[in-house]
Amino acid sequence: MEIKTVHTKKDLREFMELPYTLYRDDPLWVAPLRSEQKAQFVPSKNPMLDHCEHILFTAHKNGRTVGRISAFLDHLALAHWKQPIGLFGSFESIHDPEVANALLATAREWLRSKGMSVMRGPWSFASQEWGLVVEGYEPQPVIMAPYNPPYYNDLLTGFGFVKAKDLLVYVIDASQGYQIPERILRLTDRIQARYGVHVRQVDMNHLEEDVITITDLANVSIADNWGFYPVTRDEAKAMARDLKQVINPAAVLIAETSDGRPVGFAMSLPDINQIIKGLNGHLFPTGLLRMIFKLPRLEQYRMWALGVIPEYQGKAIDTLLYRATYEAIYSDRIRLEINYVLEDNDRMNNALLKLGVKNLRRYRVYEMAI
């Protein structure tokens, strides 16, 4: 058993290649595009690294790469949380406590050396890819959602981690007979009339400006949510650049008052995992053609984020945004996965249950004192 620090390009290739080896025979795993995985570790392509100090480790046993982990300080998060919480992510391991314990101990010691007193994760260098699946391993994960075998949870708890927070996932599926309840339609009609709020889709000719508006809304509307810290303008611009290739503008919505003031947003993304499944992370040569022909016809989506500014919370604007999203992408086969929702966000969980959604999956973020 040996733990190595990633230094060279060859080391980084080994680090990034491991999931493609570990999950090769797992029918539920969807291999992410290798170009996107590589970009997470390139500062010029991932503005999140501008405020992160990180280190990568790989585990080797009997001549094989058998595990990996990242440890990092997110200085923007530390300033917002005002707590010495270090993060770990990119965790992968064979089913071997010796390997997992060595990786986790190495990450813990690095975080401890940086003055951290708590270790939390898994936490990704990509926005909102947090936690391990603990319930609802099927169906396959949607775009930008983690996946792991069940034994990962045993490896973490065996090391001493405990639950920090659970993140809930819901689903609505028109092919299973889902319809928005009539009372919700009447309610949202009244809400629009009472508050003079209308919902519009993003303008693809001004996408960067609209994405900045959305991130500004998010920074205000979910500022008190557990795990939140602000999104920077550079991250918003990078998001706009990346989203331009895949989004359906009808599914990215901004709620505005009659005088044009933005008060809420909802962002849903086409589930491109339906397209890239089986490509082993390579977009070329066949993947690009799949994207061109299948992306406009996708009928599965992930609701990635939704928020309403504080003074308009409690007025069912969130429900109006759910309805507008569903109606904008509706077909008789549409499926919309809604994640993540904090387990103790009673307002949002209650609003979703009134919409008649079904529980689908649960993720768990762990932490431990170090």
* pLDDT tens, the chain, 370 aa long: 999 999 999 999 999 999 999 999 999 999 999 998 999 998 888 999 999 999 999 999 999 999 999 999 999 999 999 999 999 999 999 999 999 999 999 999 999 999 999 999 999 987 668 999 999 999 999 998 999 999 999 999 999 999 999 999 999 999 999 999 999 999 999 999 999 999 999 999 999 999 999 999 999 998 889 999 999 999 988 888 888 889 999 999 999 999 999 999 999 999 999 999 999 999 888 888 899 899 999 999 999 999 999 999 999 999 999 999 999 999 999 999 998 899 999 989 999 999 999 999 999 999 999 9
**CA atoms 294, 297, 299, 301: torsion sign:** positive
Is 172-361 the same fold as 2-168? Answer: yes
pTM for the model:
0.94
Enclosing H/E stretch for 92: strand 85-93
CATH numeric code, 2-168: 3.40.630.30
- Residue 232's contacts (CB-CB under 8 Å, 6 or more residues apart) are 47, 50, 51, 76
Asked if 172 contacts 358 with a C-beta cutoff of 8 angstroms, the reply is yes
- Nearest Cα neighbor of 315 from 352, 276, 278, 347 is 347
Residue 94: both structure tokens together: 């064979």
Q: Would you list the domain boundaries of the chain?
A: 2-168, 172-361
Q: The domain 172-361 is classified under which CATH number: 3.50.30.10, 3.40.50.1980, 3.30.1490.20, 3.40.630.30?
A: 3.40.630.30
Burial classification of residue 99, based on how many CB atoms lie within 10 Å of its CB (0-12 exposed, 13-18 middle, 19 or more buried): buried
**Buried b / exposed e across 36-67, counting CB within 10 Å, b at 16+?**
bbebbbeeeebbbbebbebbbbbbeeeeebbb
Asked if 221 contacts 315 with a C-beta cutoff of 8 angstroms, the reply is no
